[in-house]
């Protein structure tokens, strides 16, 4: 099955502009709705592979990474429907028929987020085979935390000719996993795997980024049992049958912070719908110390 980016994401149009011309010297004033966070949308799209029921994601950002990842579920046999409205882009994914052998090498090697397919497909199908993500075919360097954690959960993983081959013929099982350092991708991958594993999984020294909490919230809406998100210890009671869900992708904190800085530097005033000050974390205090007023309007 050959799925182009425009087929997987009909809204995608390549940007042919090769340069930007910025003429400064004036305040930035106006309204700019904050997009959904790309770093949240990608794992959320992968999470839909865990259930045969419909999952709808709202406030999905319209960018190239999303278009590339959208092609992967389609090539795995999933149905996908996009819709656009004043409130943003939405996608409904039907993963009732998943065929893991159809993973596409050209797409997987274009982005590192594709490594999340490893945990999701092991959980759903008991097997996965994909090239090293991001074109890194020299060994397990860069995903060793992922591999070690999945092996602790009972997966057999080998690297052959630049391809990661993983199996869990008897299903994944819960495990107590200590990450050598907090890793967003590893935490997400193990979280995706753990919700379907038999027994309890504890992920210690887990990453705490808001995007992980957003993934956990969507999985909980699907029926998963997860505690501790937002902390360094995640506890997942696996084995729950996951259903469908409707979830709104959290707003992009990087986009929000960047535009807030631009408004401050130009002595302007921007209204940023869907922006959430609490997502800025420690940066919010820096804005306050600099005399920049950030106030929620909702």
**What average pLDDT does range 219-239 have in this prediction?**
96
Domain-embedded: residue 27:
no
Domain-embedded: residue 240:
yes
Distance between first and last Cα of the chain: 45
Angle between helices 116-125 and 38-47 (to 10 degrees): 20
Reported as a single tens digit per residue, the pLDDT across 202-224 is 999 999 999 999 999 999 999 99
Domain-embedded: residue 7:
no
Q: In the structure, what pLDDT confidence band is assigned to residue 298 with cuts at 50, 70 and 90?
A: low
CA 245/CA 223 separation, integer angstroms: 9
- Residue written as token pair 């504890």: 202
Domain-embedded: residue 169:
yes
Q: With H, G, I as helix, E, B as strand and everything else as coil, classify residue 94.
A: strand
119, 147 contact by CB (below 8 A): no
**What average pLDDT does range 58-86 have in this prediction?**
93
Residue 123 has pLDDT above 70, yes or no: yes
Domain-embedded: residue 253:
no
Q: In the structure, what pLDDT confidence band is assigned to residue 3 with cuts at 50, 70 and 90?
A: low
Length of the chain in terms of residues written: 298
Q: What is the DSSP letter of 217?
A: H
Reported as a single tens digit per residue, the pLDDT across 254-289 is 999 999 999 999 999 999 999 999 999 888 899 888
Reported as a single tens digit per residue, the pLDDT across 170-196 is 999 999 999 999 999 999 999 999 999
Domain-embedded: residue 178:
yes
Lowest mean pLDDT among 57-61, 83-87, 146-150: 83-87
User: Bridge partners of 60?
Assistant: 89
pTM above 0.85, yes or no: yes
Indicate the pairing of strand 225-227 with strand 156-160.
unpaired
Write down the pLDDT at residue 162: 80
Domain-embedded: residue 4:
no
Average pLDDT, the chain: 91
CATH number at residue 120: 3.65.10.10
Write down the pLDDT at residue 139: 47
Domain-embedded: residue 281:
no
Number of domains in the chain: 1
Residue 64 has pLDDT above 80, yes or no: yes
User: Bridge partners of 198?
Assistant: 173
Name the residue range of residue 173's domain: 38-248
Write down the pLDDT at residue 149: 97
């Amino acid at each position: 099955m050959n799925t182009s980016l425009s087929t997987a994401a009909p809204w995608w149009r390549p940007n042919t502009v090769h340069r930007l011309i910025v003429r400064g010297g004036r305040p930035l004033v106006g309204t700019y709705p904050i997009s959904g966070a790309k770093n949240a949308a990608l794992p959320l799209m992968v999470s839909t592979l865990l259930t045969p029921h419909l999952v709808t994601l709202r406030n999905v950002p319209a960018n190239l990474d999303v278009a590339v990842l959208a092609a992967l579920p389609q090539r795995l046999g999933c149905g996908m429907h996009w819709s656009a409205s004043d409130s943003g882009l939405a996608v409904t994914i039907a993963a009732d028929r998943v065929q893991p052998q159809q993973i596409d090498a050209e797409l997987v090697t274009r982005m590192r987020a594709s490594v999340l397919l490893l945990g999701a497909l092991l959980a759903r199908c008991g097997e996965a085979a994909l090239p090293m993500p991001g074109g890194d075919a020299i060994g397990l360097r860069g995903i060793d935390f992922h591999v070690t954690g999945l092996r602790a959960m009972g997966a057999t993983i080998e690297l052959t000719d630049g391809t990661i081959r993983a199996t869990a013929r008897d299903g994944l099982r819960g495990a107590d996993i200590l990450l050598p350092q907090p890793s967003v991708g590893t935490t997400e991958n193990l979280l995706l795997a753990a919700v379907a594993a038999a027994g309890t999984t504890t992920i210690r020294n887990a990453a705490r980024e808001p995007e992980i909490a957003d993934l956990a919230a969507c999985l909980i809406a699907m029926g998963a049992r997860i505690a501790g998100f937002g902390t360094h210890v995640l506890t997942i009671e696996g084995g729950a049958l996951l259903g469908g869900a409707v979830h709104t992708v959290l707003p992009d904190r990087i986009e929000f912070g960047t535009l807030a800085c631009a408004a401050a530097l130009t002595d302007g005033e921007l209204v940023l719908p869907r922006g959430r000050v609490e997502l800025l974390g420690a940066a919010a205090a820096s804005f306050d110390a600099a005399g920049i007023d950030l106030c929620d309007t909702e």
